[in-house]
Structure 1
Amino acid sequence: MIRREFILGALAAIAAAPAIAAPPAGARRPNIVFILADDMGYGDAAAYGQRKIATPNIDRLAREGMLFTQGYAGAPVCGPSRCALMTGLHTGHARIRDNTAIAGGKTGTKGGGTQLWRRPNLLPEDRTVAQYLQAAGYRTGLMGKWHLDGFEANATPPKFGFDEFKGWLIQFDTTPGYWPAQRVHGDKLVDIPENANGRHGRYEPFMVTDDAIDFIERHREAPFFLYTAYNSPHSPFTAPDFGPYADRAGWADDEKTYAAMIHYLDQGIGRLLDKLASTGLERDTVIFFASDNGPRSEPTVQQTRVADFFDSNGGLTGYKRDMYEGGIRDPWIVRWPGKVAAGAVTDVPVYFPDFLPTALDLAGAAPERTDGVSLKPLLVDPGSRPAERLLYWEFYDPEFRQAARWGKWKAVRLTRGGPLELYDLARDPKESTNLAARHPDIVARMAAGMAREHVASAEYPDPGPATTTKPGKG
């Protein structure tokens, strides 16, 4: 639960705002920057109550923009969450619904191992926000993590609307990690000699920031979409040093390292903000900041201890891979100087499928298909609220699971065909009291909505009473 002292006030509900018209002819369309952290929990930023790690630049985004107290990722792990972000489809409709697939996709190995993994990947018929914005005249760039390629050579960012890509891909074992020996530029592998033979010469988050700044500099005259997808603070715990936490008494080294990883992520965000200011683009740029799922990359003793030491899930129940709030509720901040009121706080529930329609609304374009809604009316008028709607998630590790949010109600189903748990998040954000037996009418309504939103796919067919898949590392 977000700490009470950090909630500046709930917003009054009024009728849904009307559709926003396209920008007038000749008006500059805003640049759009999406900054994505990896496995950063709801409580890992000071703006959301973190007491041990300083995040001055993330806090600056919140202070100068709108903080969402009930913002959600697209899924409880990396791949499907990023798919929802890029395609505007929730995991009942999206191509990628887990880090592994039940069928379809392609098989391959990772990390030099011999175990075969079946990974899903985007297909040519899928459309991303980058493709829409590219068609609308935006220059598009992705710096960092893609995670939608699986083992398919034709599922790389340049094939899905990104004019420029510098980062890493699942299909190349030499490119992931914090000290990669190689990186992908476009569709080509490029050596990182400073990291050759296991050396730790260039830290990947620093490369992401450098490449993002270079992209801004080169495209300052035209509207651009920049997707800046950091690895941090995903496992393994590694950083150039302990940063400002080297002398923290009583902290274990892995706790100091985790804090340093967030420190350097926050510093990178600060450098991006400084670049936008120095180029005069600050007021012409909408910045979104979020994390792709909850904290604790793997359910190990070490990572659980570190997550609990920092209260990374902000007191919510669950971690990454869980359908409870701790697995899917995340930091969500939007800054647009002069348009979004500084210091605004909203409790409107939003999630990753909303980004695509929002970005296209900002660009004066329209999507062909989306499960989200444009948040532009809310951003420019924090007194407005979208019509009440069902937010939906499904996931397949270790078996088919579902969750849904409708107003104050949250439903969770942990087995295919199993009973629904029901929680009143307004009174019980920690999901400690299952109210299903007391509200059969709400349970029936949620169950009907969840059944409607789940559509089986080639990668995730409906096989019967239970579905299992190999757990993929996010």
Structure 2
Amino acid sequence: MIRREFIASALAAIAAAPAFAAPQPGARRPNIIFILADDMGYGDTAVYGQRRIATPNIDRLARDGMRFTQAYAGAPVCGPSRCALMTGMHTGHARIRDNTALAAGKLGTKGNGKQLWRRPNLLPDDRTVAQYLQGAGYRTGLMGKWHLDGFETKATPPNFGFDEFKGWLIQYESTQGYWPAQRVHDATLVDIPENANGKHGRYDTDMITDDAIDFVERHRSRPFFLYAAYNSPHSPFTAPDFGPYADRAGWSDDEKTYAAMIHYLDLGIGRLLDKLAGAGLDKDTVIFFASDNGPRSEPTAQQTRITDFFDSNGGLTGYKRDMYEGGIRTPWIVRWPEKIPAGAVSDVPVYFPDFLPTALDLAGAPVARSDGVSLRPFLVDARRKAADRFLYWEFYDPEFRQVARWGKWKALRMKRDGALELYDLSRDPKESRNVAADHPDIVARMAEGMAREHVASAEYPDPPPKG
């Protein structure tokens, strides 16, 4: 019932919306850029309340566009969140639902080569937003982090719709980190002499920005899709220097470094914005900005201290890997001058599966299967209210967990067949009071939706494999 009600109301809202003008024959379709930060918390940018770290260029995106206050990543960790972003499928349907798989996938090693992992990866049956846009005539490029390859050599960006790829892959440890000795260019490993033998000559954040700017310059005359997937501020904490935070009294070196990592990310975004303006592409380009999950890459004392020092989760409960708001709520900004109202703020709940249908809608491309909806009606009218719809997540670390949001309600199941927790986010965004006992009708509806949206897969079977 929830799904039928939502689909009917969502279609009616879209049909009634003051749509972006459809591209006229021969007219240029908009460029689409998605800028993704890594492990940046909901409260890590000034426009979302950060008081200690300046983010003038991210703030500039919000000043010129629309800021969503109830936006969600695809998952509380990197791989499944990026899978939801690229495929438009939530983690009850997606190929990748955790950074590890329960079965299938491929085995490989991590770190010192002694830790064995079973990683999921995209398969030929999976379709990404890049493939759809590529088929619609867009030039497509990914600069930075993919994280959907696992240990499968064929699950790389060029095989999933990206005409150009410069970045790092899970299967090549020499390409990882902030000072990598090598980088993958399409399907070729390329040496970075400035970082050879442990040197710190070229910073990953700067390389991603340089490659993004180069991509824009070379494809300025045709519509393009650019995915700038930064690694910052994911651990380990390292930066070329402390930047403007070198002299902050009372700050530890860790805190100065974390702030500097966000500073250099923000500088890169500013350089990209300046490039678009200089090339005359501002009005032809839709920019999305978000983070892939909550803050604190690993639950260590060091990282917890840094996250708490900056209030990186914006006062919400939880961190990365948690299904509470602090683990999955993300900054989400969309900018398109003269199309999206400047300085607009929307409280419509949105999440990563919405990007694929939104991008295809903006590009005038055919609708594809997705668990999301196009956000176009809400982008043109910040006052538009959304019909309540069912948003769903599942996660497998340390055990099977489910989360759903429907209107103001959020439900969590913290273990398989466990009782549901229920929170009224309109009154309790910190999820401090479980009101499940007071609303058995809502609990039943949420449980029904969770059962419907969870579909077992080869990588995540029911029941899980023993051992």
Give TM-score, length-normalised by structure 2: 0.96
2:43 and 2:383 mapped to 1: Cα distance? Answer: 26
Confirm or deny: 8 A CA contact 1:112 1:173 kept in the other structure. Answer: no
| Paired position in structure 2 for 1:339 | 339
2:332 and 2:98 mapped to 1: Cα distance? Answer: 22
| Paired position in structure 1 for 2:13 | 16
Confirm or deny: 8 A CA contact 1:396 1:468 kept in the other structure. Answer: no
2:271 and 2:22 mapped to 1: Cα distance? Answer: 31
| Paired position in structure 1 for 2:6 | none
Confirm or deny: 8 A CA contact 2:394 2:400 kept in the other structure. Answer: yes
More displaced stretch, 379-388 vs 177-186: 379-388
1:323 and 1:279 mapped to 2: Cα distance? Answer: 42
| Paired position in structure 1 for 2:79 | 79
SS of match in other structure, 1:449: helix
| Paired position in structure 1 for 2:123 | 123
More displaced stretch, 24-33 vs 451-460: 24-33
Aligned: 1:433 with 2:430: no
1:282 and 1:309 mapped to 2: Cα distance? Answer: 36
The alpha-carbon deviation at position 22 of structure 1 amounts to: 4.4
2:102 and 2:149 mapped to 1: Cα distance? Answer: 16
| Paired position in structure 2 for 1:405 | 405
Aligned: 1:94 with 2:94: yes
Confirm or deny: 8 A CA contact 1:67 1:343 kept in the other structure. Answer: yes
Instruction: Give the letter for the 1:326 counterpart.
Output: G
Confirm or deny: 8 A CA contact 1:397 1:468 kept in the other structure. Answer: no
| Paired position in structure 2 for 1:6 | none
1:357 and 1:29 mapped to 2: Cα distance? Answer: 16
More displaced stretch, 310-319 vs 386-395: 386-395
Instruction: Give the letter for the 2:207 counterpart.
Output: M
| C-alpha distance after superposition, 1:158-198 (max 9, x if no partner) | 00000000000000010010000000000100000110111
Instruction: Give the letter for the 1:370 counterpart.
Output: S
1:110 and 1:307 mapped to 2: Cα distance? Answer: 26
Confirm or deny: 8 A CA contact 1:143 1:227 kept in the other structure. Answer: yes
Confirm or deny: 8 A CA contact 2:181 2:195 kept in the other structure. Answer: yes
1:366 and 1:118 mapped to 2: Cα distance? Answer: 35
Aligned: 1:351 with 2:327: no
| Paired position in structure 1 for 2:230 | 230
| Paired position in structure 2 for 1:472 | none
State the identity as a percent.
82
The alpha-carbon deviation at position 115 of structure 1 amounts to: 1.6
Confirm or deny: 8 A CA contact 2:357 2:368 kept in the other structure. Answer: no
1:93 and 1:121 mapped to 2: Cα distance? Answer: 14
| Paired position in structure 2 for 1:108 | 108
| Paired position in structure 2 for 1:378 | 378
Q: Which runs of 4+ in 1 moved over 6 A?
A: none
| Paired position in structure 2 for 1:317 | 317
The alpha-carbon deviation at position 116 of structure 1 amounts to: 1.0
SS of match in other structure, 1:116: strand
| Paired position in structure 1 for 2:184 | 184
2:122 and 2:177 mapped to 1: Cα distance? Answer: 22
| Paired position in structure 2 for 1:10 | none
SS of match in other structure, 1:108: strand
Q: 1:468 to 1:240 in 2, by over 3 A?
A: farther
2:228 and 2:75 mapped to 1: Cα distance? Answer: 19
Instruction: Give the letter for the 1:38 counterpart.
Output: D
2:454 and 2:366 mapped to 1: Cα distance? Answer: 24
The alpha-carbon deviation at position 366 of structure 1 amounts to: 2.4
SS of match in other structure, 2:132: helix
| C-alpha distance after superposition, 1:345-381 (max 9, x if no partner) | 0100000000000000001112331000000111112
2:40 and 2:242 mapped to 1: Cα distance? Answer: 18
Confirm or deny: 8 A CA contact 2:282 2:337 kept in the other structure. Answer: yes
1:185 and 1:256 mapped to 2: Cα distance? Answer: 32
Instruction: Give the letter for the 1:403 counterpart.
Output: V
1:117 and 1:22 mapped to 2: Cα distance? Answer: 47
1:188-337 to 2 correspondence within 5 Å? 188-337=188-337
| C-alpha distance after superposition, 1:398-424 (max 9, x if no partner) | 000010110000001100000000000
The alpha-carbon deviation at position 293 of structure 1 amounts to: 0.0
SS of match in other structure, 1:76: coil
Instruction: Give the letter for the 1:393 counterpart.
Output: W
The alpha-carbon deviation at position 386 of structure 1 amounts to: 3.5
| C-alpha distance after superposition, 1:113-140 (max 9, x if no partner) | 2121000000001000000000000000
2:420 and 2:177 mapped to 1: Cα distance? Answer: 38
Q: Which runs of 5+ in 1 are unaligned?
A: 1-12, 470-474
1:358-377 to 2 correspondence within 5 Å? 358-377=358-377
Instruction: Give the letter for the 2:428 counterpart.
Output: D
| Paired position in structure 1 for 2:30 | 30
1:107 and 1:407 mapped to 2: Cα distance? Answer: 40
1:468 and 1:79 mapped to 2: Cα distance? Answer: 24
| Paired position in structure 2 for 1:67 | 67
2:368 and 2:211 mapped to 1: Cα distance? Answer: 31
SS of match in other structure, 1:359: helix
1:171 and 1:407 mapped to 2: Cα distance? Answer: 40
Confirm or deny: 8 A CA contact 2:88 2:353 kept in the other structure. Answer: yes
Instruction: Give the letter for the 1:16 counterpart.
Output: A
The alpha-carbon deviation at position 28 of structure 1 amounts to: 1.3
Confirm or deny: 8 A CA contact 1:178 1:205 kept in the other structure. Answer: yes
SS of match in other structure, 2:13: coil
2:366 and 2:42 mapped to 1: Cα distance? Answer: 31
Instruction: Give the letter for the 1:94 counterpart.
Output: A
Instruction: Give the letter for the 2:246 counterpart.
Output: A
2:93 and 2:22 mapped to 1: Cα distance? Answer: 28
Instruction: Give the letter for the 1:445 counterpart.
Output: R
The alpha-carbon deviation at position 112 of structure 1 amounts to: 3.1
The alpha-carbon deviation at position 385 of structure 1 amounts to: 3.2
2:111 and 2:277 mapped to 1: Cα distance? Answer: 40
The alpha-carbon deviation at position 49 of structure 1 amounts to: 0.3
Give TM-score, length-normalised by structure 1: 0.94
Confirm or deny: 8 A CA contact 1:423 1:434 kept in the other structure. Answer: yes
1:195 and 1:468 mapped to 2: Cα distance? Answer: 44
Confirm or deny: 8 A CA contact 2:106 2:120 kept in the other structure. Answer: yes
Confirm or deny: 8 A CA contact 2:67 2:334 kept in the other structure. Answer: yes
